[in-house]
Amino acid sequence: MTHILAIANQKGGVGKTTTALNLAASLGHSFKKVLLVDLDPQANATVGSGCDKHELKKTVLDVLMNNAEVADVLVHCPEAKYDLLPESGDLTSAEVELINELMREQRLRHALIKIQHKYDYIIIDCPPSLNMLSINALVASTGVIIPVQCEFFSLEGISALVGTVEKIAKMANKNLKIEGVLQTMYDPRSMLTIDVETELRGYFGDKVFRTAIPRNVRLAEAPSHGLPAIVYDKNSKGAIAYKGLAGELIRRHKPKVRMGVEETN
């Protein structure tokens, strides 16, 4: 089974792209076949993967507009150990270009169906807003990972995202669920961090990942070198944390055997 995970939060600056990049790489380095989809018009996941966005001939927009197949757009990132469906900044026009298209919210889902059997995980980096691109990601996904910065204002807007996920699960994608909530920029010495964690666990329960991502300079430096943290500095606290997150996901998705019958989560 292919797990398609949207990394989503309508609030910017919560570590969404950092999570998409480093989770994809950590899964790849854990011997999983991974595709990273850059669905953010800022194209940070593309640049952070070491891909020159100005030299791209085709991007994810071509896929969404049915002008190209996913296989024709893919870029292989050997050091990160994942494939990339890149973006160059042209997604800023996607809202306008898609508005009159039929089945516009299904475009990414239909495109991925053709290739998803090749991957264990497809990670989608969503834009920091609930727009048509985000809806495409949610309709295509089996789960949503919500990165939450451990600060007070980061809690605002989560209920709106959860409500959107529930509506899409009801109307367009019955397989969609909240895969988990990820605490980012975590500082266990801060009372505010502890308060935010208490609120998150009170609301989401065991949906909150045990792994939390600390503030880490090496984690912040890595994208400027076009590398995920696990390649840039595998011994950094940030790289170790994302490796732990990948392990937690893999364990969650490991098939369970009950009375001789294999089941999946």
The count of residues in the chain is 265
**Two tokens at 20?**
């998409």
Across the chain, mean pLDDT equals 92
CA distance 8 to 148: 10
**3-263: what fold?**
Rossmann fold (3.40.50)
In the three-class reduction of DSSP (H, G, I as helix; E, B as strand; rest coil), residue 168 is classed as helix
Q: Is the pLDDT of residue 169 over 60?
A: yes
**Two tokens at 190?**
């801060």
pLDDT digits (tens, 9 = 90+) for 80-111: 999 999 999 888 877 778 877 778 899 999 99
Residue 264 pLDDT class (50, 70, 90 cuts): low
CA distance 55 to 122: 24
Do 178 and 165 form a contact (C-beta atoms < 8 A)?
Answer: yes
CA atoms within 13 A on the CB side of 88: 15
Q: Give the model's pLDDT for residue 43.
A: 94
Residue entry with tokens 């264990």: 120
**Which strand (E) or helix (H) includes residue 71?**
helix 70-73
Residue ranges of the domains in the chain? Answer: 3-263
